[in-house]
Structure 1
């Protein structure tokens, strides 16, 4: 187990290093002169040259990269061109909003997707399977922007039971915070629930026909123990993979959902950085996103070894 964990940590560190290279070169490959953007389009050549020197843009790329990497490891991601604030401070203000939205949306997705997937596999060729498949198809087909607008129209405008938009920090007012996050979480989690449902159903159907399930039934184990303790646990590898990947997408920013419900999260921050050509903020956002993906993939791999002992034993034997 320790050898498996050490190998995954080394792989994650190498991947993170390569991600910093891609982020650094990718931002500088964008069209336009960053120094001109930082100084302003109407600035004279002398002002542009001063900005280029102050930001180190006149140095060779390897020198710029080493400087960028050193600052990034100390938590210095630069200063936003648009606001003049440190990039780390801006990201720290927006990231908790997206993390809460991602957690609630994933909670909704797991509760709906996992339960309906198990039911569809156990009640195969029955009304419950058809109903689950229909709901999953709707979840995959309905766009978030339409679903969100219909939710606002129904629950905020017609019924008046939930606010239409805005954000209140959880520590300031927990009840109001949850009232404002329910609709975005359901809208964002519905499509993910459909994916989890389909993957859970497929994995459960395969597990229910496996030899170890037939053996468990032959031993006379209760039906719920066979389904939940044997078939579902063996199917969680696939579900964990889907959840890890989808959670990474959520953390990287749900641009459409956050825009509809006016949430000051990571998605809107990314969109604003692109539109205003705020290069330091764009660089910081992409780096944080890549880091989140790498960390989540590492956690998913570690969960594999907890769910399936064969992975733990195989990793330790390497």
Structure 2
């Protein structure tokens, strides 16, 4: 297992290197010059040139990339052009709020998606299957930002039950903190529930068609035992795969949702940094997201081994 983990982590190096090149190229392709934004509208051309030299923006792109790569290799994310603070300090102060939204949204998706997907798979062709399919189709087709705006209009503006956005500190009010979580969590979680529902339904239907399920039924195995010990357990691999994919999607989708709900996470910070052409901040956030996805894939692979010992033996052998 230790050799497998070391091998997987070493495989991250070329992925991170290629990702850093893509991130750097995409960020530098953004229109606009950060020196103009830093200098302000009343600055002279000499002021802009001085700022470009101060931040190394007057150097060639390969030189800028190598300098950034050296700093990143030492764990130095640089200093924000706009906030005048360490990028790493800002990123890691905002990251827990994005992870909180992603975690609560994933929990919501699991609570609703897996049980209803299981029921739809067991009742293929019945009313519950039609209802689950209709809900999943509508939820997947509905844009997250539009669903979020509807939630704000209904529950915040019209009914006044929930805050329209922002984050209430736990020091101020624990209940207010929980209320501020509801709308962004449901906005991300309902889409995830629909995806998990569809994935679980398909996995259950496929498992029900296996020969060992027919054999278990022929032996008179109780329905509950058949469902929980055979059908659900053998359907877990695609469910775990989709759960890992969803967690990554939710953290990535937080870019939009955090902007809609004024949530103080890295998604909103990323949008603000793109608008302000804060190159170092944008690059740092994107690299952190790449690392998160790599770690998430590793965790999903390890979970495969915990669910199916045959996969664990294959992974250890490699």
Shift of 1:264: 1.8
Q: Could you say if the C-alpha distance between residues 243 and 24 of structure 1 is closer, same or farther in structure 2, counting changes exceeding 3 Å?
A: same
Specify the SS of the correspondent of 1:169.
coil
Match in the other structure for 1:130: 130
My pick for the range that moved more, 274-283 or 9-18, is 9-18
Match in the other structure for 1:233: 233
Q: Deviations over 1:75-94 (max 9, x none)?
A: 32122222222212221232
Match in the other structure for 1:312: 312
Match in the other structure for 1:6: 6
Match in the other structure for 1:116: 116
Shift of 1:268: 1.6
Is the contact between residue 253 and residue 266 of structure 1 (CA under 8 Å) also seen in structure 2? Answer: no
Q: Could you say if the C-alpha distance between residues 315 and 30 of structure 1 is closer, same or farther in structure 2, counting changes exceeding 3 Å?
A: same
1:91 corresponds to 2:95: no
Distance in 2 (alpha carbons) for counterparts of 1:233 and 1:314: 20
Distance in 2 (alpha carbons) for counterparts of 1:106 and 1:29: 34
Distance in 2 (alpha carbons) for counterparts of 1:145 and 1:60: 39
Is the contact between residue 116 and residue 197 of structure 2 (CA under 8 Å) also seen in structure 1? Answer: yes
Q: Deviations over 1:247-295 (max 9, x none)?
A: 1122234233223322122222111111121212111121112121111
Is the contact between residue 253 and residue 270 of structure 1 (CA under 8 Å) also seen in structure 2? Answer: no
Distance in 1 (alpha carbons) for counterparts of 2:253 and 2:89: 17
Specify the SS of the correspondent of 1:131.
helix
1:298 corresponds to 2:298: yes
Is the contact between residue 254 and residue 267 of structure 2 (CA under 8 Å) also seen in structure 1? Answer: yes
Match in the other structure for 2:69: 69
Q: Could you say if the C-alpha distance between residues 5 and 213 of structure 1 is closer, same or farther in structure 2, counting changes exceeding 3 Å?
A: farther
My pick for the range that moved more, 72-81 or 173-182, is 72-81
My pick for the range that moved more, 283-292 or 43-52, is 43-52
Specify the SS of the correspondent of 2:8.
helix
Specify the SS of the correspondent of 1:254.
helix
Shift of 1:144: 2.4
Q: Could you say if the C-alpha distance between residues 158 and 278 of structure 1 is closer, same or farther in structure 2, counting changes exceeding 3 Å?
A: same
Distance in 1 (alpha carbons) for counterparts of 2:32 and 2:261: 33
Query: Could you list the runs of 5+ residues in structure 2 that have no partner in the other structure?
Result: none
Pairing 1:139-288 to 2, within 5 Å after superposition: 139-170=139-170, 173-288=173-288
Is the contact between residue 4 and residue 312 of structure 1 (CA under 8 Å) also seen in structure 2? Answer: no
Query: Could you list the runs of 5+ residues in structure 1 that have no partner in the other structure?
Result: none
Shift of 1:165: 1.9
Shift of 1:206: 0.6
Shift of 1:100: 0.9
Match in the other structure for 2:25: 25
Is the contact between residue 120 and residue 201 of structure 2 (CA under 8 Å) also seen in structure 1? Answer: yes
Is the contact between residue 32 and residue 277 of structure 2 (CA under 8 Å) also seen in structure 1? Answer: no
Q: Give the TM-score taking structure 2 as reference length.
A: 0.89
Match in the other structure for 2:55: 55
My pick for the range that moved more, 105-114 or 246-255, is 246-255
Aligned residues: 318
Shift of 1:216: 3.3
Q: Deviations over 1:62-112 (max 9, x none)?
A: 554343223224332122222222212221232222111111111111111
Distance in 2 (alpha carbons) for counterparts of 1:258 and 1:272: 11
Shift of 1:116: 0.9
Distance in 1 (alpha carbons) for counterparts of 2:264 and 2:25: 28
Distance in 2 (alpha carbons) for counterparts of 1:9 and 1:134: 41
Q: Could you say if the C-alpha distance between residues 57 and 158 of structure 1 is closer, same or farther in structure 2, counting changes exceeding 3 Å?
A: closer
